[in-house]
C-alpha cells in the first residue's frame, strides 16, 4: 500500500491547492474525453509512472464539487473529519450485514439511528437502517407501506389498486419506486402545492376520498421535508392527521432537509415528525458528509423486519439478530456508510451538527436579502429554505447557468416552480461565509455584464 498511499497524499495535496485557485473546471465535452485523458484499458497494464500520470490527470479533470464555487446540487463542501471516516471505511472494508464481520461498526450505526429516532420523537419500538441514497430509503418506505397494507402481496403479488400520494414538488424517485413495488406509476396521485410549495392538504383529502369512492385502496403518503427545487416543507402534522384517519403510512422524505431535527431553531419545520411512520434523511446533503450517507428511521421496527428479513418473523428472533443488520437491509453486503457521519458527530457533537444546520439557513437568509434588495433580481423563494431561487435581469436561467459553467466561473443549476424557471442557489456548503455568498452574486453580475450587455436594456 505504501506506493498507493504516497501517491494519494501527493495527488490530494496538489488537488487541495489547485482547488483554491481553480474552483471550477470548465467542462470537457464527452466526445473529447478520450483525447484529453488516458482512460482506455490495455492488455498489459501500465508502468507505475504512467499509472500515476493517468490517475493524476483523471483527478485534475474531474468536476470540483467541494469548492466555494459549487452551488449546483443539494450537497457541497468537504468536511475533513467526515472524509477521514469515509477513507477509513474503505481501508477497513467491512460489510454491514453481520455483526461478525463489522463488529463495533454495527453499534455506531445503531447509536446514530437511535439519536435520530429520539430527535424525531419516535418511542421505544423505533428502528432504522441505512441505504445507498435517498431514492433507496424512499423505496424502503413505500415497500414497508405496501406490505403493511396487504401482507399477502409479498407472496402473491399485487391484487388491488393500491394508491400512493405525493406532492407535485416531490422527488422523482416516488414514481420510480411505485413501479418497482409493482403498483405502477399510474397509481401515484400528484397533489398540487400551495404558493409556498407545500402540499395542499385539502386537495390531498379530497383525492383520497375520490379513490375510496372508486373502490381503490389508498395506502401511502409521501411528504417532503425540503422539496428538491423550492426547499419547501410539507405540513407533517396536518398530513399525519389525515393518515391516521384513513390508516395510511406516512413517510417523510427528508433527504434534503430532514436534518433540521438537529436544530432547536428549525425543527419546527418538521412539526408532526413524531406522527410519521418513517423518516429519511441524507447526511451527505445538510450534514456535509461525503456521498452517500442515507438513513431511514421507522417508528415501529417490526415493519423493517417484516419487509426486509428473509426468514423468521420479527417476533421469533434471537437477541443477536438486533446486531445482524442484514436482517433489515435492502442489500446483502452493504458499505459502511455510517462511519463518516460518526467521525464528524464524535468530533463536533450534537451542538456542532446543530451549528452546521443553523449556518446553512443563515447563509440562505443573507442571499435572499441580497436578492430582495437588488432591483435587478426577481426572488422566487420563501423564508426558511436553503434554496435561493431567483432570476437576474431578463437573462434566461438555463443560459446563464451554462455560461457560468463553460467559462469556469460558478457551478449552479436552475429549476422550475408553477411555470417559472429560475436559477437555484443552494447554501448547503456550510464552510461558506456570508462573503462567499455575496461573491457568488458579484461573479454572476460581472459575467452578465461581460456577456449579455448588448442584449439588455441600457436602463
- Which residues of this chain interact with ligand PLP, rule CB under 6 A? 74, 133-135, 138, 171, 173, 224, 226, 228, 253, 255-256, 282, 292, 294
Q: In the bound complex, which residue of the shown chain has the CB atom lying closest to ligand PLP?
A: 134
Instruction: Output 102 or 289, the one with its CB closest to ligand PLP.
Output: 289
CB of 436 to ligand PLP, least distance (A): 22
- We find the least distance from the C-beta atom of residue 426 to ligand PLP, in angstroms, to be 10
Q: Which is nearer to ligand PLP, 109 or 169 (CB)?
A: 169
CA distance 138 to 131: 10
Q: Is the Cβ–Cβ distance between 394 and 436 less than 8 Å?
A: no
Which candidate, 414, 131, 132, 140, places its Cα nearest to that of 277? 140
Helix (H) or strand (E) segment spanning residue 15 = helix 2-21
Cβ nearer to ligand PLP, comparing 69 with 294: 294
Q: Which is nearer to ligand PLP, 79 or 282 (CB)?
A: 282
Using DSSP's 3-state secondary structure scheme, residue 447 falls into helix
| Nearer of residues 19 and 253 to ligand PLP, judged by Cβ | 253
Q: How many Cα atoms occupy the beta-carbon half-sphere of 440 within 13 Å?
A: 31
Contact 222, 173 (CB under 8 A): no
Closer to ligand PLP at the Cβ: 128 or 226?
226
Minimum distance of ligand PLP from residue 344's CB (angstroms): 18
Q: Least Å distance between CB 78 and ligand PLP?
A: 18
Strand order in the sheet with 127-131: 127-131, 294-298, 278-282, 249-254, 217-224, 162-167, 188-191
Comparing CA positions, the residue from 83, 66, 77 lying closest to residue 24 is 66
The closest alpha carbon to 330, from 49, 142, 108, 164, belongs to 142
Closest contact distance (angstroms) between CB of 8 and ligand PLP is 26
Contacts of residue 139, defined as CB under 8 A and 6 or more positions apart, other chains included, come to 131, 173, 177, 180, 181, 330
**Cβ distance 249 to 219 under 8 Å?**
yes
Contact 140, 374 (CB under 8 A): no
Query: Which is closer to ligand PLP, CB of 127 or CB of 254?
Result: 254
CB nearer to ligand PLP: give 86 or 321.
86
Min separation Cβ 443 and ligand PLP, Å: 26
Reported as half-sphere exposure (CB side, CA atoms, 13 A), residue 423 has a value of 30
Residue (286 or 371) nearer to ligand PLP, CB: 286
Unique residue bearing C-alpha cell 461525503 = 290
Least distance CB 167 / ligand PLP (angstroms): 10
Q: What's the closest the beta carbon of residue 294 comes to ligand PLP, in angstroms? A: 5
Q: How far apart (Å, rounded) are the C-alpha atoms in residues 422 and 413?
A: 9
Q: Are 433 and 367 in contact (CB under 8 A)?
A: no
CB of 331 to ligand PLP, least distance (A): 14
Amino acid at each position: 500500500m505504501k506506493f498507493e498511499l504516497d501517491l494519494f497524499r501527493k495527488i490530494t495535496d496538489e488537488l487541495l491547492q489547485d482547488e483554491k485557485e481553480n474552483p471550477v473546471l470548465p467542462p470537457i465535452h464527452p466526445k473529447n474525453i478520450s483525447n484529453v485523458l488516458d482512460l482506455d484499458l490495455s492488455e498489459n497494464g501500465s508502468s507505475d509512472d504512467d499509472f500515476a500520470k493517468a490517475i493524476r490527470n483523471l483527478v485534475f479533470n474531474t468536476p470540483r464539487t467541494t469548492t466555494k464555487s459549487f452551488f449546483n446540487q443539494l450537497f457541497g463542501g468537504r468536511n475533513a473529519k467526515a472524509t477521514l471516516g469515509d477513507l477509513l471505511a474503505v481501508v477497513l472494508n467491512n460489510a454491514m450485514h453481520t455483526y461478525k464481520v463489522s463488529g463495533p461498526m454495527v453499534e455506531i450505526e445503531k447509536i446514530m439511528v437511535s439519536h435520530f429516532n429520539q430527535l424525531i420523537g419516535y418511542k421505544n419500538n423505533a428502528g432504522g437502517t441505512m441505504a445507498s441514497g435517498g431514492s433507496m430509503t424512499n423505496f424502503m418506505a413505500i415497500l414497508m407501506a405496501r406490505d403493511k397494507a396487504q401482507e399477502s402481496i409479498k407472496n402473491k403479488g399485487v391484487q388491488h389498486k393500491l394508491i400512493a400520494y405525493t406532492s407535485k414538488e416531490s422527488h422523482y424517485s416516488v414514481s420510480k419506486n411505485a413501479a418497482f413495488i409493482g403498483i405502477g406509476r399510474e397509481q401515484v396521485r400528484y397533489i398540487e402545492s400551495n404558493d409556498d410549495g407545500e402540499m395542499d392538504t385539502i386537495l390531498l383529502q379530497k383525492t383520497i376520498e375520490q379513490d375510496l369512492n372508486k373502490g381503490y385502496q389508498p395506502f401511502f403518503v409521501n411528504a417532503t421535508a425540503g422539496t428538491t427545487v423550492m426547499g419547501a416543507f410539507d405540513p407533517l402534522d396536518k398530513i399525519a392527521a389525515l393518515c391516521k384517519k384513513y390508516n395510511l403510512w406516512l413517510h417523510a422524505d427528508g433527504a434534503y432537509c430532514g436534518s433540521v431535527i438537529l436544530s432547536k431553531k428549525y425543527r419546527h419545520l418538521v412539526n408532526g415528525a413524531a406522527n410519521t411512520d418513517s423518516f429519511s434523511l441524507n447526511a451527505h446533503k445538510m450534514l456535509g458528509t461525503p456521498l452517500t450517507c442515507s438513513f431511514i428511521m421507522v417508528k415501529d421496527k417490526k415493519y423493517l423486519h417484516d419487509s426486509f428479513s428473509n426468514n423468521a418473523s420479527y417476533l421469533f428472533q434471537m437477541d443477536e439478530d438486533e446486531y445482524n443488520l442484514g436482517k433489515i437491509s435492502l442489500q446483502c453486503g452493504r458499505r459502511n456508510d455510517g462511519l463518516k457521519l460518526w467521525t464528524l458527530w464524535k468530533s463536533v457533537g450534537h451542538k456542532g451538527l446543530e451549528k452546521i444546520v443553523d449556518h446553512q439557513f443563515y447563509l440562505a437568509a443573507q442571499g435572499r436579502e441580497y436578492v430582495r434588495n437588488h432591483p435587478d433580481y426577481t426572488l422566487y423563494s420563501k423564508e426558511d429554505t436553503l434554496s435561493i431561487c431567483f432570476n437576474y435581469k431578463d437573462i434566461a436561467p438555463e443560459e446563464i447557468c451554462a455560461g457560468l459553467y463553460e467559462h469556469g466561473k460558478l457551478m449552479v443549476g436552475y429549476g422550475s416552480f408553477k411555470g417559472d424557471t429560475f436559477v437555484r442557489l443552494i447554501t448547503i456548503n456550510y464552510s461558506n461565509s456570508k462573503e462567499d455568498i455575496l461573491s457568488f452574486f458579484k461573479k454572476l453580475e460581472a459575467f452578465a455584464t461581460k456577456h449579455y450587455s448588448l442584449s439588455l436594456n441600457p436602463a
